[in-house]
Structure 1
Amino acid sequence: MSLKWLLVRRITLVATACALVGGFIAVCSVSRTANHQNAELAQSVSRQLNLQLLRIDTMLDLPKRFPDWDLVTSYALQPGQCVQLLARDGSVSRSSCEGIDAVVNPTPSWFIDAYTFLFPGDATVSEPVSYRGTGEGSVVASFTPAAIAGATWQTIAPASGFAILLVALLCIVTYYIIDHALRPTTEILQGIDRLAKGDLGVRLPSFRVAEINRISEVFNALVADLKRASSERAELARRLVDAQEQERRHIARELHDEIAQKLSALSALAACLRIAAQQDATGLAGEAKELEAMASSLMASLRRTLTYLRPQEIDDLGLLPSLEGLVAGHNKDCEGRTRYTIEADGDIEELNSETRAHVYRIIQEALNNAARHANAQHVRVTLNQLLGADGRKVELAITDDGIGSAPSAKLKPFPGSGLIGMRERVLALSGSFNAGPLQGGGFGLHVVFPSQPSGGAA
């Protein structure tokens, strides 16, 4: 539930509670009034009957006329009010009641039932009837629950409509006031969502409310610090990864220029020895042949090392042929168990040398992980150059249909340090990196970076 609706609901509950308290006070007031009327009636009737007993004792009245109930019935009773004379044994000697006119004072039956359920029993007041210490009975005045419920309804009915209207008006006014007061929070939440998605260019405007404006100032300061830290980290990562690639290139060049040439010479010399041994020293032919095979094996191992350090075809042939060769090598190694494909669109070759090396390494690591862990039937590589509103970007995606975690499971990165290395390379390219299980099964890796990352090597 949003903060706006939470506040409106609570204010509505408070207003409703106040209305209910007011209704309860009205019920108590009507009940006190009924008790007061019963007390006055019971006292008046008791006084008249006591006076009649005095007249009988002084022979001014006849005993058979007691009680003179005609005199009692001359009192004006309220609707629903009754007065009774109880004999000494508790039986009803005389009784008079005033009916309720449901037409003049209509009361909903549900309200009568509710009042009767909450306040059962009649409101009664009793006064004794006695003369010279001898009790002759008691006078009981009472109101029926329906009568008190009717009086209560006549009291609160006019105010209840006004109370409902007031609560509704209060809810509407409160909603618009709170909506206006909390409107800046919508912009704050939108800014937080954009920041969570990696948009470090988001900024919050100034607000008139001091507390909310302070949140805006702190948020903008934090985003600025985060953007500066991210830029510094990206620059450091770029330098480290570029230095690593340059060192690999240097080592590969040294191996190619020194050791590869010497191994080539050694292989040629071994071939000459084998030919000479076959003609002049047949006993040494086997050793010469073995030496030649060893030199050839060392050359093959050196080529693999050179390819790992810095594939020569990236500089000689270009990025796309190097990637096609990498994919062809995986297809050859898996012997048909998995099919590797690559699709490219756009002028990928315009990327600078270090960027091409980063892309190659990212795809190389992703394919190695897929080969080791995915157990997939198809691994697909797509590399596209896109033209957006903020310039040209390169989009790289590697997906497989392997037996990865279910989409609902917690995302698990590639094992080992390969994912960390890929993240650092993407960071060096000033790009975004996402990896995790796909909705339909399998695993996917998605990278987007600008064609000319800031601070990149030319």
Structure 2
Amino acid sequence: MRFQNVMVRAVDVMQMTSRFSGLGARVRKGAWFGRSIRQQVLLAISAMLFLATVLMGATAVLNGRQSVNVEIEASMDTAEGYLRELVRRINAENHLSELDNLVAHEIQHLRHARVYVEDPGKPMRVLRSPETVSDIDDANDRTPDWFEALMMPKGGNDHTRVISIEPNGRSLILKGDPDDEIAEKWEQLSAFATVAVVAIVFIVLAFYIVLGRILNPLTDLAKGLVALEAGERSQRLKIPKVSEVADIAVKFNSLAASLDQAREENGELYRQIQSVQEDERREIARELHDEAGPCLFGITANAESISRLTDALREDSAEAIRKRTDEILSISSRLKAMNRALLKRLHPVSVGKVPLSALIQDLVYDFERRHPNVRIGLSVTPLIRPYGERIDLTVYRSTQEALTNAIRHGQATHIVVQLREEASQGAGSDQDAIALRISDDGVGLKPDVQAGFGLSAMRERVLASGGSLVIAGHEPHGTTISIKIPLWPRDLHGGSINAFSQATA
């Protein structure tokens, strides 16, 4: 039983470890692959430079530790020989009573060693000259404890030499003192670290600038692809000096030219289809007006005539006939209203004849009348003139389709229509444009849902007019359709292919 419990816990730990490791792998993958090429290269270079600096620092520490050990041993040998000779001379001159002062004065030039004197039956005391006290204290203060412990030679401060003084039994004890040597190593390593950090910063900055110059053509290529995807047919890349990237730029420009030509051909074909479609709409509208209108008028007139003839009949029979004629008149009235609405949708008679702002206002009012539960805000700058049937009809149909989609598919309750004429930043009025923007608070467009026939037809209609169309979704809901149609010179309204060479989508 205990074994089973242990196994269950082990399995739980393994599962938890697997989950955390998977999470860590995803985080590492996102942190690395989510960065740009420049950032990845700079991070890799910085990591390598940092690793090289750490390795050089570790090597310097190891060599410094060995150097401290060798220096201490050499200093101890030198100090021991010097002190033995000093004691022999003091003993020969019979100045043993002044031993402490003489030794303290002479040891100020000794490095990496401390001298202690030990009298029989008394504790050992250190001999320091006044000149060396402050130096030792400064060395201890400026060196971190962790570095001192790291650089301490093998055996620590156990380097000890004993010099016996005859005949009084006193002894001079010489002990290794690596503090000042370690302080020197700390200063050297600090200077090295400072130089390394400054060098790394300059190297990374240099690589940042160089990589920017190298990768800028790739950035331009990415921007060009985005612009090409958006339909900017005039998009071309400057040929860079880097041969590999230059080949890509040449192929890109060739592809853009091919797409431009294909778009021109498609635009011309769509303009022809659109022209035929509008002709058919006009023909159907004319037939409805000329044929259905008189027929509906005849039905109404005959029903009213029958209703008047019932005055000569008995009351019960007359009442029954009047009910039937009233139904006929009601149906005829609805048919006439449907016919008028259908005529208006097929071909508004005011297109190209009244100012565009009035045309759009009439369309919005018609939608408000048919959909009273939907609030439609309208912001129109005074457009005092019509812009020709091509532009006016494109704006009218686009607004009509956008409002229909927002109400029918988006289930919007509030729609804002903005229409204005925009002046270009460049010279020449032929670059001015009509800007149409329709925003709603509907359910929005799902990213995985393809555009329907209505939106596709709207896009092609706008492109055929040399304009651009952008559809943007908003969080948490809502959609905005932005349309710009350039105002070309009047002599280009006839449909010249060159007039549409700047079309964007």
Place the TM-score, normalised by the shorter chain, in its bin: 0.5 to 0.7
Separation of aligned partners in 2, 1:360 and 1:195? 27
1:35–1:98 Cα change, 3 Å: farther
TM-superposition CA deviations, 1:120-141 (whole Å, max 9, x none): 56176799xxxxxxxxxxxx99
Report the AA paired with residue 424 of structure 1. E
Query: Which of 401, 425, 428 is matched with 1:365 structurally?
Result: 401
CA positional deviation for 1:104: 9.4
Partner of 2:111: 79
2:412 matched to which residue of 1?
374
**Aligned equivalent of 1:245, options 269, 275, 278:** 278
Superposed CA offset, 1:60-117 (max 9, x none): xxxxxxxxxxxxxxx9x97334799xxxxxxxxx999999776499647443523224
Match status 1:311 vs 2:348: yes
**Does the CA-based 8 Å contact 1:30-1:151 persist in structure 2?**
no
Q: Which residue of 2 aligns with 1:135?
A: none
Residue identity opposite 2:413 in structure 1 = N
Matched, 1:217 2:250: yes
Distance in 2, Cα, partners of 1:298 & 1:156: 97
When normalised by structure 1's length, the TM-score is 0.66
SS of the counterpart of 1:302? helix
Match of 1:302 among 321, 325, 339: 339
Shift of 1:349: 1.9
SS of the residue corresponding to residue 345 of structure 1 reads coil
Structure 2 distance, partners of 1:44, 1:143, is 12
SS at match of 1:122: coil
Partner in structure 1 of residue 65 of structure 2: 31
Alignment RMSD (CA, Å): 5.4
Question: Higher helix proportion, which one?
Answer: 2
1:422 matched residue in structure 2: 458
Number of residues paired by the alignment?
415
SS for the counterpart of 2:380 is strand
1 or 2, which has the higher strand percentage?
Answer: 1
**Residue identity matched to 1:201:** S
Contact 1:313 1:321 in 2 (8 A): no
Partner SS for 1:350: coil
How far apart are the structure 1 equivalents of 2:462 and 2:146?
Answer: 72
The structure-2 alpha-carbon separation of the partners of 1:199 and 1:105, relative to structure 1 and needing over 3 Å to count, comes to: farther
Please name the residue that 1:338 is paired with: 375
Q: Are residues 447 and 281 of structure 1, via their aligned partners in 2, closer, same or farther at CA, if it must alter by over 3 Å?
A: farther
- From the superposition, tell whether residues 236 and 368 of structure 1 become closer, same or farther in structure 2 (CA, over 3 Å): same
**Counterpart-to-counterpart distance in 2, 1:381 and 1:108:** 77
Alignment check: 8 A CA contact 1:340 1:379 kept? yes
Give matches, 1:199-238, under 5 Å.
199-238=232-271
Quick one: which amino acid aligns to residue 260 of structure 1? G
* Residue 464 of structure 2 corresponds to residue 432 of structure 1: no
How far apart are 1:16 and its partner, in Å? 4.9
Query: Which amino acid is the alignment partner of residue 395 of structure 1?
Result: I
Contact map agreement 1:326 1:364 (CA 8 A) in 2: yes
- Is the Cα–Cα contact under 8 Å of residues 369 and 414 in structure 1 kept in the other structure? no
Task: Please tell me the residue identity of whatever aligns with 1:217.
Answer: V
CA distance in 2, matches of 1:435, 1:419: 9
- How far off is 1:449 after superposition? 0.9
Residue 351 of structure 1 deviates from its aligned partner by 1.3
Alignment CA distance shift 1:340-1:186 (3 Å): closer
Q: Could you say if the C-alpha distance between residues 442 and 124 of structure 1 is closer, same or farther in structure 2, counting changes exceeding 3 Å? A: same
> Is 2:434 the partner of 1:395?
yes
- 1:346, 1:385 within 8 Å by CA — same for their partners in 2? no
Residues 241-320 of structure 1 aligned to structure 2 (within 5 Å)? 241-279=274-312, 283=317, 285-286=321-322, 287=324, 290-314=327-351
Give the direction of change, closer, same or farther, for the CA distance of 1:81–1:289 in structure 2 (3 Å limit). closer
Question: What amino acid sits opposite 1:345 in the alignment?
Answer: P
What is the DSSP-based 3-state SS (H/G/I as helix, E as strand, rest coil) of the residue aligned with 1:448? strand
Structure 1: which 5+ residue stretches go unaligned?
46-74, 85-93, 128-139
Contact 1:26 1:155 in 2 (8 A): no
Asked whether the equivalents of residues 105 and 154 of structure 1 are also in contact (C-alpha less than 8 Å), the reply is: no
What letter is aligned with 1:248?
R
SS of residue paired to 1:314: coil
- Aligned residue number for residue 28 of structure 2: none
Report deviation, 1:448. Answer: 0.8
CA gap 1:365/1:113 in 2 versus in 1, 3 angstroms: same
Which structure 2 residue ranges, 5 or more long, are not aligned? Answer: 1-34, 80-106, 117-123, 162-172, 498-505
Q: Deviation string for 1:173-224 (max 9, x for gaps)?
A: 5555445444545644654565566533232222222233233224323433
Distance 1:288 1:112 in 2: 111
Q: Check whether the contact 1:38–1:141 (CA below 8 A) recurs between aligned residues.
A: no
C-alpha distance in 1 between matches for 2:255 and 2:179: 69
Identity between Structure 1 and Structure 2 (%): 23
Q: Distance in 1 between matches of 2:378 and 2:77?
A: 107
CA–CA distance in 2 between the matches of 1:337 and 1:349?
Answer: 28
